Structure formats: C-alpha cells, structure tokens
Amino acid sequence: NAGVTQTPKFQVLKTGQSMTLQCAQDMNHNSMYWYRQDPGMGLRLIYYSASEGTTDKGEVPNGYNVSRLNKREFSLRLESAAPSQTSVYFCASSEVERGAALQETQYFGPGTRLLVL
C-alpha cells in the first residue's frame, strides 16, 4: 500500500515549456487534490476532483489544467510554464466518512519540486 505517489520528484523547466505532473493513489479514495506550497503562503488549492470524471477550480487555477484519468490518477498540466509557477506541488486524496459528523482526512503525496527558469 503505497498511499499517494507523485512523479517526478524534481523538475527544471524553461519558461514556455510544458509538463505534466502525475499523481496516483491506491486507497480507493474518491476525492483528489492538487496544491502548491510557497514560502510563507501555506498550501493553496489549485484544482480538485470530488469523484472520477469531475474537476473543479480551487483558489489558484490560472495557468494549470487537470485530468482525472480514472479513480486512481489525477494529473496536473502546465501548458506554458512561467517563473511564478516555481513551487512545490503536492497531490492529496481523501474519503468522506459520513457518520455522526462529516469526517474527511487528506493524505498527501511526497511532492514535486518545480523550478521554472
């Protein structure tokens, strides 16, 4: 049980190049997320997918696209990278437990460090 995996771990791009960050989870979770983390800014939501076949914008979606390929995989694409997209990108997944209280816990992947020159 690997949890949430991300590839690549590190990437250097030149301005204008494109790339896709891959994320997969083996916990059978319905919801998946992409965050970016910048110094002093905490985690900011880029896109999320509540279930297979659905995606929604988060707080900072500009410059990114996503694909929920199947229940396991959620990819993030940078079509034309900019220096402002230099960041650490985390993928996460979660499952909602509907009991006496609505409970949902996110589990994070190891992250992708992206440098755009």
Partner 1 sequence: QKEVEQNSGPLSVPEGAIASLNCTYSDRVSQSFFWYRQYSGKSPELIMSIYSNGDKEDGRFTAQLNKASQYVSLLIRDSQPSDSATYLCAVNGRNYGQNFVFGPGTRLSVLP
* Binding-site ranges for partner 1 (CB under 8 A): 33, 35, 40-45, 48, 58-59, 90, 96, 101-111
> For residue 98, what are the CA distances in angstroms to 55, 72, 105?
22, 21, 12
Give 20 or 108: the residue with its C-beta nearer to partner 1.
108
- Nearest-angstrom CA–CA distance, 94 and 113: 22
* Nearer CB in complex with partner 1: 14/98: 98
CB 80 to partner 1: min, Å: 26
**CB closer to partner 1, 17 vs 106:** 106
Beta carbon of residue 47, minimum distance to partner 1 (angstroms, whole number): 10
SS3 48: strand
Distances (CA, A) of 40 to 7, 43, 113: 25, 9, 16
